Amino acid sequence: MSATILIEKSLHFAFKTSNNQVEYEAILASLSLAREVGVKSLTCKTDSKLTVGHLNDEFQIKDPTLLQYYHLVRKVVQSTFEQVCIQHIPRSENVRADILSKLASTKLKSCHRSLLHQTLSAPSITNTCHTLTQH
């Protein structure tokens, strides 16, 4: 019998990034966290139709940067997990994620110690070490 566990994490980007890149970074952070806790099967939900379309091989990827993200996500999924499902959810059903994004951009260092928070110092596709900050 498998249990459903929801783990939430906010991300702060210390580099310039597009909305689409943020969606990929969020999925990569989710995959990393799932790997750390030993998950083998998971569902990633996002309100980005474009990202879901890319990862489910429904849309062609024209942007070279997003193509790098796509290949990195695919590599992580194939090397780590038995099953990963990428699902689209309407933005109206993604209110909790919006709250977390606001917390990530506004919280003070001493607040919200129960919330997992990570600061990414560089894009995941650059193979640069990331600074992990948990508060």
pLDDT digit string, tens, across residues 15-68 = 999 999 999 999 999 999 999 989 999 988 888 999 999 999 999 999 999 999
How is 65-95 classified by DSSP, letter by letter? HHHHHHHHHHHHHHHH-SEEEEEE--GGG-H
CB atoms within 10 A of CB 135: 16
Model pTM score? 0.75
DSSP letter at 31 equals: H
- Mean per-residue pLDDT of the chain: 81
SS3 content of the chain, % helix, strand, coil (to 5): 45, 15, 40
Tokens of 133: 């900050």
CATH classification (class only), 9-126? alpha beta
- Bridge partners of 44? 86
Phi first, then psi, for residue 93 (nearest 5°) are -100, 10
**What mean pLDDT is predicted for residues 91-107?**
69
Distances (CA, A) of 38 to 1, 10, 27, 72, 114: 16, 20, 16, 20, 21
Tokens of 41: 């099967």
CA dihedral 40, 53, 66, 14 (to 10 degrees): -70
DSSP letter at 116 equals: E
Tokens of 134: 């948990």
